[in-house]
Amino acid sequence: MNDFLKFIFSNFGKFIGLVLGLIIALCLLFLGIWKTLFIVGLVILGFIIGKWYDEGFSIKKIIKDFIDSKRENKWQ
């Protein structure tokens, strides 16, 4: 068992990719493409909201960054 855990932790990215691929394949088989895409969309939305929460969500900062990016692109 100890060797198995060492193998997983030394190849953690591959292991996570394998598990996610298996989960997506099972969802596609049992739920269909549209329900699976809906679930994936909700997961991505949850990730974005969690990232905003971790970094400190600020509407003012988002608007300021958007305006600044438009000003920079205007002169290019």
Q: Given this model, what pLDDT does residue 33 score?
A: 92
**pLDDT surpassing 70 at residue 75:** no
**pLDDT surpassing 70 at residue 76:** no
Residues 6+ apart with CB under 8 A from 28: 36
pTM listed for this prediction: 0.59
**pLDDT surpassing 70 at residue 72:** no
Domain assignments of the chain as residue spans, ordered by start: 1-31, 33-76
| Cα-trace Rg, the chain | 20
Distance from C-alpha of 50 to C-alpha of 74, rounded to nearest angstrom: 32
Q: Which two tokens stand for residue 10?
A: 């030394």
Q: Which two tokens stand for residue 9?
A: 């932790």
Task: For residue range 5-45, list pLDDT tens digits in order.
Answer: 888 888 888 888 888 899 999 999 999 999 999 999 999 88
